[in-house]
Amino acid sequence: MAVYTTVTFEQAAPFLADLGLGALQDIQPCKGGIENTNYFVDTVRGGAQHSYVLTLFERLSAEQLPFYLELMRHLAKAGIAVPMPVADVSGRILHSLSHKPACVVNKLAGRNDGAVTANRCEQVGAMLARMHLAGRDYSLAQPNLRGLAWWNETIPTVLPHLDAAQAKLIQSELAYQNHIAAGSAYAALPRGAVHADLFRDNVMFDVVDGHDLLTGFFDFYFAGIDTWLFDICVCLNDWCIDHATGAADDALQASFLKGYEGIRPLTQAERGLQAAMLRGAALRFWTSRLWDFYLPREASFLTPHDPTHFERVLQHRLGFPPSRG
């Protein structure tokens, strides 16, 4: 949600009006995230105010984007709380603005404060399981573009920026993940459409009668077809750790898995490979953060995430304390 492409009020107003969204009242850039250009927009239609998120895609191509947008539409129609892309009069949900592929989705209710509790973890786990099941009949296919093939391609490009200990760790883990992926146990893992980036900053909550209520998942632009276990482990590495140290929080993890397995129990293959996949999920985000940190793109408001955070998470998942702070 960095801003790479500036969109003015004068550019956005007719674009939104053509989609039948009403008269533009306000447009503000989103300052979080690192992949796409995002704006919060408010319009007035039928005497009422409506809020949306306008996204311009900076890396994903028009050929890749239908997978993500149609997945959101598929899940929303199945009753999963995700943003619904806005269609034009012809039913198309992929548009163009400022010479970039673009979409508009409804803004989810609630807020995104990053807080983590056992109750929130349980709700996220349960909704993730429902999302996985709802995606079983999704007809489009696209691999996880930040999966193992991308790790193999990207890690050599970041190695020159690492010290000897980091380089040894990341190369050793990459070799291990290639070994795991070649095995029969990995081939037996259930798979389907995954979010692949369901961190706490991609989930909204509201307060209803004094209690937190999950109101939706968003930012599906790393989604793909992958193992459901990978999706689970991405969540466990963000929702269920101590962020100061990277160490696992067993109580939060138990709450998350209680929610998930209340909807879809894990298979024996998933239980057997959970530890390996937790390591893989940590490697994926250590790699992408190294890439964003050392090979950044220019963007307003862009602040790359600290790559050493997921280095620490990986070290904890390997069973030894981090050697660096």
Q: Which of 115, 94, 118 lies closest to 104, judged by CA?
A: 94
* Strand, coil or helix: 170: helix
Quick one: pLDDT at residue 97? 97
Mean pLDDT for the stretch of residues 24-32: 90
Task: Pull the structure tokens for residue 289.
Answer: 């953060």
pLDDT of 94-122, one tens digit each? 999 999 999 999 999 999 999 999 999 99
Q: Which of 270, 226, 263, 277 lies closest to 133, judged by CA?
A: 263
Based on its alpha-carbon atoms, the radius of gyration of the chain, rounded to whole angstroms, reads 20
Quick one: pLDDT at residue 35? 81
Quick one: pLDDT at residue 324? 54
* Strand, coil or helix: 11: helix
Quick one: pLDDT at residue 16? 98
Structural domains of the chain ordered from first start: 9-106 (3.30.200.20), 118-318 (3.90.1200.10)
Q: Is 54 in contact with 12 (CB distance < 8 Å)?
A: yes
Quick one: pLDDT at residue 89? 94
What is d(CA 84, CA 75) in angstroms, rounded to the nearest whole number?
A: 9
pLDDT band for 4, please (50, 70, 90 cuts): confident
Return the amino acid letter for 230.
F
pLDDT band for 243, please (50, 70, 90 cuts): very high
pLDDT of 61-93, one tens digit each? 999 999 999 999 999 999 999 999 999 999 999
What is d(CA 24, CA 42) in angstroms, rounded to the nearest whole number?
A: 6
The percentage of the chain sitting over the pLDDT mark of 90, rounded to a whole number, equals: 89
pLDDT at residue 321 greater than cutoff 80: no
